[in-house]
Structure formats: C-alpha cells, structure tokens
Amino acid sequence: MPEIVIEPAKGTPEEAGHFAELMRISAPEFFPDLLGKKFRKFFVGAFLEKDNLFSHKHVVFARFKGKIAGMLLSYDWKAKNKEEGNTGWLMMKILGFDFLRQLPAFISSISGSGRLEKGGYYISNVAVYTDFRGRKIGKALMLKAEELARESKAKKLALDVEVDNEVAIAVYKKLGYTIEREHEIGLGGKKYRFYRMMKPL
C-alpha cells in the first residue's frame, strides 16, 4: 500500500475538525481577519453542508500511513458560479455580525482572490500538517488538483498565494505556474498582497 493516499472527503464531523485546522494553517492570519472569531465554526459548518464553496464536496484529504496529513480545497468555474451566492448566505447565517462587518473585504476578496473565468479551475487552499511536511504530500495534492481540473474539462488552473510566501511560490513555479498579476485586500488596517498564478492545461 502506498504511504500517501489521496481520497475524497466523506463529510464526517471528524474530517470537519481537520478541515477547519488545515484551513487555518493555510492562511493563519488572513482567515481570522476576514471571518472573525468564529472562523473555525464557519469552516466546520460549511464543510458539513453541500452547495457551498467550502463544502466537503470540494475537498480531498491526503492520508499518510492512514492518518490525515493534508487537504486540498478546489473547484471549477461552474461550481463557483452556482455556489457563490449560497456561500455568502451561509457565512451570514454562521458568522452573523462578524460577516456583515467584513462584507466590503469579503466582496474585495471575491473580486480579487476568488475571481475565476470560464474554463478555470481554482485551487483555493492546500495545507499539510507540520508533522507530515517534507514527504511530498503538498505536491501530491497539487497533482490531484490537475487531475480534477482535467476531469471538469477546465482549460487552466488558478491559485492565489501571498507575495511573501516564497517557499510556496517556488514550488508552484516548479510545477509550471506563472505569476499573472498582483492584487491586495485590506483587512482591519492590514493589507494582504497576493499573486494570482496560472497554469494552462
């Protein structure tokens, strides 16, 4: 049996806890700033639901020797167009005032980070637990994203990465991604700067 196994999420409460923690690991400052104190509660709730962009339907987990080691959240342009509205309603339902307070930043993040054109496949988040790093699990998840993109008939992959995340940027470049543009999101007096990186299929 191979040490790394990539499999679709089943949508269990146990997985939801892993998803929330791996989402935090993927953007430890950005998500609390964007979603407020209830960000973990939101990720757990959204993961367990269907028809939203954080649903388990869009998640695959990497297991190493049977243990969850990392995850990939990704989706195509069709899901983005269909589920964006539901995602916003779910945010309002779970986050309440925190969401309304951050609505301008959320809209900015959708128009910048979350933008996806027809034929696009978006790698929203990739994360690996610290204990499992150095075992090529992140690369395996990125290659899985390419496989899923081809299955969806997408023509190109897109992702957003913080400009100071030099390690991730170097990995993405090795995998064939190029920087297309830079954009920023203002949150609570801080500015988060991202590169949009693309790879044709």
Interval 10-34: pLDDT, tens: 999 999 999 999 999 999 998 888 8
Does 160 fall in a domain? no
For residue 102, what pLDDT is reported?
67
Token representation of residue 110: 């959708």
Token representation of residue 63: 């297991």
The residues, any chain, with a CB within 8 Å of residue 15's CB and separated by 6 or more, are 9, 47, 56, 59, 61, 68
For residue 112, what pLDDT is reported?
54
- Into how many domains does the chain fold? 1
Q: Is the pLDDT of residue 92 over 90?
A: no
Token representation of residue 198: 């693309």
Percent of the chain scoring above 70 in pLDDT: 91
**At which residue do the structure tokens 């090529």 appear?**
136
What CATH code is carried by the domain that includes residue 19? Answer: 3.40.630.30
Does 65 fall in a domain? yes
What's the average model confidence in pLDDT over 64-92? 93
Distance, CA of 139 to CA of 145 (rounded, Å): 10
The 10s digit of each residue's pLDDT in 121-178 is 999 999 999 999 999 999 999 999 999 999 999 999 999 999 999 999 999 999 999 9
**At which residue do the structure tokens 């679709």 appear?**
8
Average pLDDT value over all residues in the chain:
91
Task: Give the structural domain span for 102.
Answer: 4-118+125-154
CB 72 within 8 A of CB 59: yes
Percent of the chain scoring above 90 in pLDDT: 72
Does 87 fall in a domain? yes
Higher pLDDT, 176 or 38: 176
Does 23 fall in a domain? yes
Please tell me the pTM assigned to this model.
Answer: 0.93
Residue 160's alpha-carbon distances to 36, 96, 113, 190, in angstroms, are 21, 27, 6, 18
